[in-house]
Structure 1
Amino acid sequence: MNPTIKDVAKHANVSIATVSRIVNGLPGYSEETKKKVQQSIEALGYQPNAIARGLINKRTQTIGVLFPDVSGMLSSEVLQGIENAAHDGGFSVIVCNTTSSGKRTVKYLRLLQEKRVDGIIFASEDVKEEYYKIFQEMKVPVVLVSTASAKYDLPFVRVNDFDGAFQATEYLIQKGHKVIGMIGGSDEDPIAGVPRMQGFQKALESNGLIYTKNHITKNEGYRFQNGKESLPQLLKELPSMTALFAASDEMAIGAMSAAHQLGIRVPEELSIIGYDNLKIAEMCYPPLTTVSQPLKDMGQTSGEMLVSMIKGEKQEAKSRYMPFTIVERQSVSDFHDK
């Protein structure tokens, strides 16, 4: 038979009302009493009724997280940070895979509205008007991670992608490379696609190097296959290219695979730098030099921000640009003119 709140009260030698206040995060007890009740809960294996608890504190202790691609390596690292923060704050996480589909995103937002989640973390996608209207209807805090909105005033946690791309390109320039190409995202992607391509272009122009539209191949996605298919196209446009900046690690590793098939040695004949610093970046050969986004920390920070807003500890959260670094491995070498 499962233990009840009455059993916990008897075990801790306190009233049922005191146990209820502690379980539901309400005030009116000492730290010593709280500790004693928590020990009794643990000893008896008591599980509070989530529905009843929600009726008392008006919360379901759940947060909704929407990703455009939960199978991506980037998403898994961000999600790990979010779940750590949610668990520490006493919340559970409902994860929704939107596949960057507007209809599916709306469907999941309606589902989260029905589930009465206490807050939402919205990741890696542009906030459309139809999404924002549902956010307002739900009247719960919303935090963006690995994205931002120019149109709506929503707090975000992300890296400055323009600066990251600029520094990645300048790193290659400092290694002596002058003909540098880029495997980029899409012009339709204002979150990562456009700013990373703009950062690349600005770095070339700021250092007096030639830039044309042929210096970039554009893609709808950031996956391995996009990089693998893009490298041969880029080499046709820039046959003298000695260095490459890829807008994601998966793209960079795809390009390395294509280079191997074409008999091009990395980094001796082609230097490659990626973006993200996924775990796979140090597992490939040669290990990938890349722009490191603190993905887990970004998830953790966004989760902590949302939990604080839900609990009323913060009325408004301040957006945060997280620091990035270039992690040097073995896929980039100094340029030596033959």
Structure 2
Amino acid sequence: SEEYDNIGLQDYEGAFELTSYLLRLGHRSIAFFCDQEQPLASNGERLRGFQDALLGFGLSFCRDDFYYLPENKTMRHEVLRQFVRKSGKRYSAAFFVSDYYANEAITIFYSKGLRVPEDISVTGFDDNIYARLSRPALTTVRQLPEEKGRQAVSLLMKRIRGEETPVRSLALPTELIVRESTRAVIPELPLPLP
């Protein structure tokens, strides 16, 4: 097999941290939304981080909590509308593999009466423009695309100059960014007897 350079992210670690954050807020029923039916590469790592964080809190991942988002926008919107109708009240949080899909979902959720974060907390991944333009602003995992670009160009320039450069695989760090799209869910305490 051919070896190649890969400048990626700590997708697993970012997803693990984001999911652990939701769990610390009290969420125990979290839907996972992905644009691949069988998540590969970065989405596979994000799913694995999500699953391992659940295990760390004594919860198991159920395939019923996985929602596939088709590439076709009309079909994707229908999946989100169906989620609200059939399952929206069953979940207190939703993890989206990208900010774009999370932002799109927030719009659909509001149009169907599911409020963010009052009814459901929503998170994304990337911390791109969609996270900052979302209303409410999106809790997400920040990656640094500029640094990925710098590392890739540096490696390419070394190869062009003929420098001896071993094949590299580099995973750049991620950072949890907490904004207004998530909230703590605290179970109602029983009222004291009179």
The offset of 1:225, in angstroms, is 6.3
The offset of 1:178, in angstroms, is 0.8
Find the aligned partners of 1:276 and 1:316 in 2 and give their Cα distance.
29
Partner in structure 1 of residue 145 of structure 2? 295
1:205-216 alignment, distance < 5 Å? 205-216=55-66
SS in 1 for 2:124: strand
Q: In the alignment, is residue 328 of structure 1 matched against residue 178 of structure 2? A: yes
Partner in structure 2 of residue 261 of structure 1? 111
The offset of 1:159, in angstroms, is 0.6
Find the aligned partners of 2:177 and 2:73 in 1 and give their Cα distance.
20
Partner in structure 2 of residue 178 of structure 1? 28
SS in 2 for 1:329: coil
1:205 and 1:232, CA in 2 relative to 1: closer, same or farther beyond 3 A?
farther
Find the aligned partners of 2:143 and 2:115 in 1 and give their Cα distance.
27
1:45-64 alignment, distance < 5 Å? none
Is the 8 Å Cα contact of residues 225 and 254 (structure 1) preserved in structure 2?
no
Partner amino acid, structure 2, of 1:329: R
Partner in structure 2 of residue 234 of structure 1? 83
Find the aligned partners of 1:211 and 1:237 in 2 and give their Cα distance.
16
Is the 8 Å Cα contact of residues 141 and 176 (structure 2) preserved in structure 1?
yes
Q: Could you tell me the TM-score, scaled by structure 2's length?
A: 0.85
SS in 2 for 1:326: strand
| Percent identity between the two aligned chains | 28
Partner amino acid, structure 2, of 1:321: A
Partner amino acid, structure 2, of 1:298: K
Find the aligned partners of 1:226 and 1:303 in 2 and give their Cα distance.
38
SS in 2 for 1:275: coil
Q: In the alignment, is residue 246 of structure 1 matched against residue 90 of structure 2? A: no
Is the 8 Å Cα contact of residues 13 and 174 (structure 2) preserved in structure 1?
no
Q: Unaligned stretches of 5+ in structure 1?
A: 1-150
1:188 and 1:211, CA in 2 relative to 1: closer, same or farther beyond 3 A?
closer
Q: In the alignment, is residue 169 of structure 1 matched against residue 19 of structure 2? A: yes
The offset of 1:313, in angstroms, is 2.9
Is the 8 Å Cα contact of residues 187 and 193 (structure 1) preserved in structure 2?
no
Find the aligned partners of 2:92 and 2:150 in 1 and give their Cα distance.
38
Q: Could you tell me the TM-score, scaled by structure 1's length?
A: 0.51
Is the 8 Å Cα contact of residues 3 and 167 (structure 2) preserved in structure 1?
no
Find the aligned partners of 1:298 and 1:335 in 2 and give their Cα distance.
36
Partner in structure 2 of residue 18 of structure 1? none
The offset of 1:238, in angstroms, is 5.9
Partner in structure 2 of residue 218 of structure 1? 68
Find the aligned partners of 2:100 and 2:73 in 1 and give their Cα distance.
5
Instruction: Name the count of aligned residue pairs.
Output: 187
Q: Unaligned stretches of 5+ in structure 2?
A: 189-194
Deviations 1:208-230 (A, max 9, x none): 12421110102344x97676443
Deviations 1:73-127 (A, max 9, x none): xxxxxxxxxxxxxxxxxxxxxxxxxxxxxxxxxxxxxxxxxxxxxxxxxxxxxxx
1:187 and 1:243, CA in 2 relative to 1: closer, same or farther beyond 3 A?
same
Find the aligned partners of 1:226 and 1:334 in 2 and give their Cα distance.
31
Find the aligned partners of 2:147 and 2:75 in 1 and give their Cα distance.
27
1:269-288 alignment, distance < 5 Å? 269-288=119-138
